Amino acid sequence: MASTAALEDLRRGYRASGLHPGVRLGAALAAAAGRHPDDPVTFLSGHTEQVTVGELFADAQRLAAVLRRDGLADGEVVGIQLANGRRAWTIYLAGLIAGAVLVPIVPTAGARDAAFCLSDAGARRFFVADRWRRTDYIAGLGPVRAARSLRSITVVGGDVPSDCVAYADLERRMSGEPGRAAAGPGAGDGSADCFICYTSGSTARPKGARHTHDTFHAELIQARARWPDRQVVFTARPLGTMAGLLAVLRAMYLPAETYVMDRWDTPAALEVIRARNVTYLPTVPFMLTTVLDLLEREGSRLPSLREVSCGGSSVPPSLIERADELGIRCYRQFGSTEHPTVTSGRPGEDLRDRATTDGRLLPGASLRVIDEAGRDVGPGDEGEIVTGGPDRFAGYRSAAANEAAFTADGWLRSGDLGRLTGSGHLVVTGRVKDLIIRAGVNLAPAAIEETLARLHGVAEVAVTGVADREYGEKAAAFVVLRPGAELTMDDVREHFERSGVARQKTPEYLVVKDAMPRTGSGKIAKRQLREELETELHAGEAAPAPRREGG
């Protein structure tokens, strides 16, 4: 990792440019919310509940005051596992106002994963729902109770164990607070931690990425630079993910009318988009695919949408092209938990750039594309993407993880492969560790996925390598089909041959699924797909021939 002196030089530069304002997020959000206090935020899960930004922030300030009276210290670590809703947003904002370091945990995380994050971060308090959808969190509290640092569990809901605090009790106490000045530090040190965001853990144990008040503030400043005067936003990105957190903060920081659901429901989402004239929709490929499928079945459009962003995992060009045919100006973005938004397309760019690239650098961000020796590759050549910028995290909690994650001169290794075009657009081509090595030849899954995505009837696709005694690895394709579509291995082979793709890039296994397994952040769980197929192969239950799973 880069030296402390080098990192301090970077921070001084960001401070001088205004990208690191040097204030706590609680104070920054209070000032921003004060500029548009009447903007509405509507929560649509279960029942409709509308509040204004001013009302929501006042509630958060009251809760922050109660928590400070209960002894919450500046810098104390607080875990939160809640789905999108008014109380969840209030708790997140209150934690920032009160000076806590927050550990967001996705609602779909199991009790053992939640307990690991809490223990690893040294959390002393934990906010959790009694239940959400089909998940009973109370039944799974055993591993959480064993977290060595934990001193208090607050349950949001009616089923509260005797050894836990009822959030309803905190709400009753909030009514006696004025809801004005922030209860915790105001200006303070912007370089202090405010979030510890855990990676999805799809390839290893989750790693705690430390974000500071300044790094999150920089992300909001970058968003403001490309945000129109006012947006009408719909979001169903889960809290606990970076996209879910930013949805909360942007609603406070930027002028907008915001609609929130606690999970993605395509028909319900389209109903809201039409009824409320939504202008901006942040998505991942799965969400966008289901929107386009439904619009095509209905023969309808969404005329109010001015822009749709798509990221979080590999975005095939065909998906952006499908959206464009239906009048939706969709573009790709590149970022991660560690570095939220590095590049982004724009709705005003031409279709080719929006469909085939991941956009250009945002203000203050920087990147290089390097070879295995750490040297910059030439324009158009592929290499590993390394990044820098004011919204990049401050490092992992683990020193060993930091050693592996940074180059000697301080660039963050993204783990992604890519190339830069002559116009300065980034094209992400795959993952360094996702490479399939077949008989000594490197195959990039993203390129194979792009070809498969153009097959008629394919709604979603993932490609992984599976172990093979003769070749080392072979490519396996997992697909979800559109309603009524069928696909055989012969169809795949003929399509790749017609596309002029090298023979060794043609998948040698095909698995048709009803739905893809996903990580807590919504990405396709490729490791699970690979392990399931390898288990069947080793048992002699699968062969390089067409198969259909789940119906």
In tens, the pLDDT along 211-227 reads 999 999 999 999 998 88
Evaluate if residue 443 carries a pLDDT over 60. Answer: yes
Write down the pLDDT at residue 183. 44
Q: Is the pLDDT of residue 75 over 90?
A: yes
What is residue 462's DSSP assignment?
A: E
Q: Judge whether 56 and 48 are in contact, CB under 8 Å.
A: no
Q: What average pLDDT does range 149-172 have in this prediction?
A: 95
- The pLDDT value given to residue 546: 44
Containing H/E element for 41? strand 40-43
Residue in the structure block whose two tokens are 């889960």: 238
Q: State the average pLDDT over residues 16-39.
A: 92
Check residue 199 and give its pLDDT: 85
- Taking only the tens place, the pLDDT of each residue in 394-417 is 999 988 889 889 998 889 999 899
Neighbours of 364 (CB within 10 A): 20
Contacts of range 53-59, beta carbons closer than 8 Å, 24 or more positions apart: 53/251, 53/252, 56/86, 56/89, 56/90, 56/93, 56/252, 57/29, 57/30, 57/33, 57/93, 57/252, 58/179, 58/180, 59/90, 59/94, 59/174, 59/179
Q: Is the pLDDT of residue 66 over 90?
A: yes
The mean pLDDT of the chain is 89
Would you say 46 and 87 are in contact if contact means Cβ atoms under 8 Å apart? no
pLDDT tens string 271-294? 999 999 999 999 988 899 899 999
- pLDDT-derived band at 203 (thresholds 50, 70, 90) equals very low
Question: Distance between CA atoms of 455 and 509, rounded to whole angstroms?
Answer: 16
Residue bearing the bigger pLDDT, 195 or 526:
195
| 51 vs 175, residue with greater confidence | 51
Distance linking the first and last C-alpha atoms of the chain: 49
Half-sphere exposure at residue 484, Cβ-oriented, CA atoms within 13 angstroms: 2
**Residue type for 70, please?**
D
Residue 548's pLDDT band (boundaries 50, 70, 90)?
very low
- pLDDT tens for residues 109-147? 888 889 999 999 999 999 999 999 888 999 989 999 999
Residue 426's pLDDT band (boundaries 50, 70, 90)?
A: very high
Which token pair is 70? 């209960």
What does the pLDDT read at residue 5? 66
Tell me the pLDDT band of 543, cut-offs 50, 70 and 90.
very low
Q: What is the pLDDT of residue 252?
A: 96
pTM of the predicted structure, to 2 decimals? 0.84
User: In degrees to the nearest 10, what's the CA dihedral of 200, 204, 205, 208?
Assistant: -60
User: Mapping DSSP to helix (H, G, I), strand (E, B) and coil, where does residue 116 land?
Assistant: helix
The reported pLDDT for the residue numbered 437 is 80
The two tokens of residue 527 are 């490791």
Q: What was the pLDDT predicted at 269?
A: 96
CA-nearest of 219, 262, 215 to 240 is 262
Confidence (pLDDT) at 549: 41
pLDDT band, very low/low/confident/very high, at 202 (cuts 50, 70, 90): very low
pLDDT > 90: percent of the chain: 69
Summary count for the chain: helices (H), strands (E) = 17, 29
Res. 513 pLDDT band, cuts 50 70 90: very high
Look at residue 7 in the predicted model and tell me its pLDDT.
67
The residue-averaged pLDDT of 93-106 equals 96
